[in-house]
Structure 1
Amino acid sequence: MHNLLLHWKRFNWLLLVAPLMIACGRKEQAGYILTNAVLISADGQLDGDCVVMAGDTLAAIGWYRELKKYWKAAEVIDVKGSAVMPGWIDAHAHFYGLAVNMLSADLRGCESPEEVVERLMVFHSQNPGPWITGRGWDQNLWADGQYPGVEALDSAFPEVPVYLMRIDGHALWINSAAARQHGITGREQVSGGKIEVRNGRFAGVLVDEAMKLVQIPSPSVGDLLPQLQKAEQELFAAGVTSLTDAGLPRAVIEGLRDLYRSNQLRIGLNILAADDDETFEWLLTHGPIEEGELTVRGMKFYSDGALGSYGACLLKPYTDKPDHYGLLLRSPEYFISRFDKLRSYGLQVATHAIGDSANRLILRIYADLLKGYDQDQLRWRIEHCQVLHPVDIEYFKEFRIIPSVQPTHATSDMTWAPRRLGERLKTAYAYKSLLEAAGLLALGTDFPVEKISPIYTFYAATYRKNENHEPQGGFFGDQAISRLDAIRGMTRWAAYAMHQEHTRGDLRTGMLADLVVLDKNWLTCQAYEIPATRVQMTFKRGKPVYQSDER
């Protein structure tokens, strides 16, 4: 009702001033006008076919036959029936990680350790250096489904340190040269992590907190500028105009601030600070930070690891590993202390929780700390929410906790998750149940773990299928959400999750002119057409930042 009243007031204002503007023969100046458009907001299809962008905001929305009487533009663009939506907001991603990965070997889709080595040899021949980094291997795609050993890497690279991050970022595969350089023997004791050992010797894989035994070489933020700008342009091409980067340390945040202050990056970047002592104290002293398109107003924590690497902390053992429950990365007392401090400063808490045990722990801590506090101001989040005991979902409703989920995780994990969870799979990746409890879902991709395109997010959320239309009937299709709710999750609700719903995430006058133009109307097109959707144009603050060659 509030939105209807606002639109009615704006319409009445236009009726009052329009005769004066016509009488004076004066038209307001706009930057761009899009015409012949299907307008889709977070509330559905709007009445009209035109948006007017003046400066960096949406100045008018309606019918072109009327608006052209009052507005002129540097350029009027006929989108020929294409859909115009708010620019997509990725609620959980890794922008900085995407840039770093551009300097590493891409190991996604490798079907064996041998294929990993083949790709590394090609990469190293093209990018010679004192070490090799890579990301994307997944032992679940291999015939035996087991963690790799050092042997394959040692045979190809006996002297060059090799650092290979698993696809989910929760396990690191290194060779003997890297282990020697960091003094790793396999006898170390690590709380919240695991070191793979075979026959009493280090076997090459470090899981979760054990990865901190290794300092992976990486360039400075300034040196990464070409990769950051390339990553930004890839996101614009995918229709993404803003995102939350989940977990960056102080040094990286400061480096990114410098790039934004010098106008070398444009994408909306909401940063959740990483959980380390230095960054924690820095955030308490300097947060929240709001500097144009860059904001920092919360911290990201890890309660457990990932399901694929047996790190997700479960209430009952893994079905395919009966002696293993996963890993709780920190003590409950640690979380309570840090969360309480952030609460007292009015800062946001976002916690990675995948297993049902980890989710239960964090939800109960949130519940205790949020009593008597305005959650609309704090907006604490759970990241991933993959495996939940049904009774724990009510916490999201009672304490208004934001579920931040990535629908393509369900369709990526569906081939092997049954082995991990057994009967528990029926209540995992339960996005519809979470939506019904919380009243909203913040949708993201978690790129570079998954592909950056929100098109696949939308399809996975609404039909529980991957881009190849599998499986028939959807992966537990009863947990699919509506198309409009998925659009909200990628726009309004994602903006709400980062305290920015008043400036972005919708088609309303006065909002930032962040727009995406699509060749399909997601409210009416056939389901099978969705993965083939093409982004035709993207606007950031009223300026075109991407245009497809097909337009």
Structure 2
Amino acid sequence: MTSATVFTHARIYARVNQPPTSGGIAVQDGKVIAVGDLDHCRAAAGADAATVALSGAAVFPGFHDAHIHTGALALQFDAPDVSEATSLTEALALLARWADAHPGDGWVVGGRWDANEWGEGETLHRELLDEIFGDRPVVLNTVDAHSVCASSRALEIAGITADTEAAPGSVIERDADGQLNGILRENASDSIRAIANRQLLADAADLLAGVQRHLHARGITAITDFDGEEVRQGFTALAAAGKLRLRVRKGIPMGELDRAIAEGRTSGDGDDWLITGPVKLFSDGALGSHTALMHEGYEGDRCNCGVEVISVPNLTETVERANSNGIAVATHAIGDRANTNVLDAYEATKDCTRANDLHNSIEHAQHLAPRDIERFYELQVTASMQPIHCTGDFPLSVNLLGERDTLHYPWCTLRKAGVRVAFGSDGPIEPVEPMYGIHAAVTRQRRDNEPAGGREPSERLPLDQALLAYTEAPASMDEREAVRGRIEPGAYADFVALNADPYDTHPADLWKLGVTETIVAGEPVYRTEGAA
């Protein structure tokens, strides 16, 4: 047993929905042994305990990002980014400058391009990438990461030719001449991206160490990650080296489900640092790619209702197979019909799910048919949502979906129905800052305070509920609420000091709050310069 430490502060929120206490947090062997009255904490810690004064205005439990892609985030740090381009010409100029500054012959990933923001008919084409990058394999993601534009060399490596037929749940686009234009959507984009990632993330540990530092600076102490097996291996290597200082709930890609079952992995198994999460399935695509599966067609394109990436019978069979082997399921569903489909599959398998004491989730749950709200509660399905998508998608979602009997990003309605709602960022699709997400959940406004008054203000969430969705709610998905998401005896000593108290901050300014210190397992892992 190591000697204890008493962290002191005048405002400690042991639970985010309860009044703060003044005093201390006594920590030993990485866990909290006492909190509150300073004399009590010092008595619990013993005479040899060190005392550390925490900085900032308020101390909270560490944040848990319930939906993140750390492999993609690692690669994004040094990748071409054209997300700010307002035209194809501007995007190509940005790509050319990046190519000049990063010569080589290896894979290029990145992009974050958004043709919805460009002129009508403007989009990337493989020949444009070939002109810039030559024979280099290039895979540039759309901003929603559900489509890519691939160079000719990348298509060749992936074995995709003009004669390749799109598999179910895939879209392979062709130009007016019937030739590949390089744009691949949904399952087709996943397969080519996986080829690039296997090479780029072959030794992921060092890259993930950088991601860990990035997350600590934002007060994130726990994550649910949905990237591939390369990332799992990277986190495993970090843990073996004693360098993992994130609580990682590692999801399983759908293509690795059989392997996970054969290896005996079950959700919730693991140690203090790395546990097995759910298998990640996909029911539909994304709004920006016009592939989110809707009950009604898109505005201006009524024949397009999106893409059904997996049929309900296949989804049901996969859920049954996973749950019966002790693996929870997290299914991506953005469109209202996609959510209906997933709930249908979860309802058909509910006895198996409950028999194995598992928590299945729907990831995103952005657009819901009103009749499906109660089904979330009845089936005990977690709505794993990303508030920043609501504000980031505006006004695109309004333009594409128009007026229809659909609830959009209805986290307040779900909470009122008793549904567990957990929040994350979907980073790097959106910034990983938890305070950005909390601001979006509370105000329904973008950080420039548009739209005025907030979109669908009835869905604004009280601050304490937004904070719960970033702390205790994700922990409860694997019955870890006793050790994560709160500062109480027996819990991990993971907490964050903020430079202002959110409860004393105007809602419009919540996104501006910063982290002064992050503590994980009782050890400082981040401290802003000049913190006192």
**TM-score normalized by the length of structure 2:** 0.92
- Cα distance 1:132–1:254, how it changes in 2: closer, same or farther (>3 A)? closer
Contact 2:66-2:422 at 8 Å conserved across structures: yes
- Cα distance 1:45–1:186, how it changes in 2: closer, same or farther (>3 A)? farther
Moved more, 513-522 or 430-439: 430-439
Among residues 170, 190, 193, which one is paired with 1:193 in the alignment?
170
Question: 1:368-412 CA deviation, whole Å, 9 max, x = no partner?
Answer: 211475389211100000111111111111111110000000000
- 2:182 aligned residue: 204
Return the offset for 1:48. 3.1
**Aligned partners of 1:113, 1:305: CA distance in 2, in Å?**
23
Among residues 164, 170, 190, which one is paired with 2:140 in the alignment?
164
Contact 2:10-2:21 at 8 Å conserved across structures: no
Given the alignment of the two structures, is residue 283 of structure 1 paired with residue 267 of structure 2, yes or no?
no
Query: Percent of counterpart pairs with the same letter?
Result: 28
Q: Rg larger in 1 or in 2? A: 1
- Counterpart secondary structure, 2:368: coil
- Cα distance 1:228–1:247, how it changes in 2: closer, same or farther (>3 A)? closer
- The residue correspondences of 1:34-433 to structure 2 (distance < 5 A) are 34-64=8-38, 67-68=41-42, 71=45, 72=47, 75-79=50-54, 82-130=57-105, 131-144=107-120, 146-190=122-166, 191-199=168-176, 200-212=178-190, 214=192, 215-216=195-196, 218-219=198-199, 221=201, 223-249=203-229, 251-276=230-255, 278-288=256-266, 289-371=269-351, 373-374=353-354, 377-424=357-404, 427-433=407-413
Q: Which amino acid aligns with 1:271?
A: K
**Aligned partners of 1:386, 1:257: CA distance in 2, in Å?**
32
Unaligned runs of 5+ in 2: none
Given the alignment of the two structures, is residue 507 of structure 1 paired with residue 487 of structure 2, yes or no?
yes
Contact 1:284-1:345 at 8 Å conserved across structures: no
Contact 1:91-1:497 at 8 Å conserved across structures: no
**Aligned partners of 1:347, 1:161: CA distance in 2, in Å?**
36
Question: 1:75-110 CA deviation, whole Å, 9 max, x = no partner?
Answer: 433346621100000111111221132342233322
Contact 1:244-1:498 at 8 Å conserved across structures: no
**Aligned partners of 1:400, 1:340: CA distance in 2, in Å?**
16
Contact 1:350-1:383 at 8 Å conserved across structures: yes
Moved more, 446-455 or 158-167: 158-167
Return the offset for 1:447. 0.3
Given the alignment of the two structures, is residue 491 of structure 1 paired with residue 471 of structure 2, yes or no?
yes
How many residues matched? 522
Contact 1:192-1:329 at 8 Å conserved across structures: yes
- Cα distance 1:480–1:185, how it changes in 2: closer, same or farther (>3 A)? same
Question: 1:52-79 CA deviation, whole Å, 9 max, x = no partner?
Answer: 2222011211132554455456543334
Unaligned runs of 5+ in 1: 1-27
Return the offset for 1:504. 0.7
Contact 2:162-2:180 at 8 Å conserved across structures: yes
Return the offset for 1:290. 0.5
Return the offset for 1:166. 1.4
Return the offset for 1:188. 2.5
**TM-score normalized by the length of structure 1:** 0.89
- Cα distance 1:324–1:269, how it changes in 2: closer, same or farther (>3 A)? same
- Cα distance 1:104–1:73, how it changes in 2: closer, same or farther (>3 A)? farther
Alpha-carbon RMSD across the aligned residues, in angstroms, is 2.3
Q: Which amino acid aligns with 1:361?
A: N
Contact 2:56-2:498 at 8 Å conserved across structures: no
Question: 1:175-228 CA deviation, whole Å, 9 max, x = no partner?
Answer: 334334444334422111112222122222100112256332643656333321
Contact 1:518-1:536 at 8 Å conserved across structures: yes
- Cα distance 1:135–1:74, how it changes in 2: closer, same or farther (>3 A)? farther
Moved more, 35-44 or 529-538: 35-44
Question: 1:323-343 CA deviation, whole Å, 9 max, x = no partner?
Answer: 211111122222121111122
Given the alignment of the two structures, is residue 466 of structure 1 paired with residue 446 of structure 2, yes or no?
yes
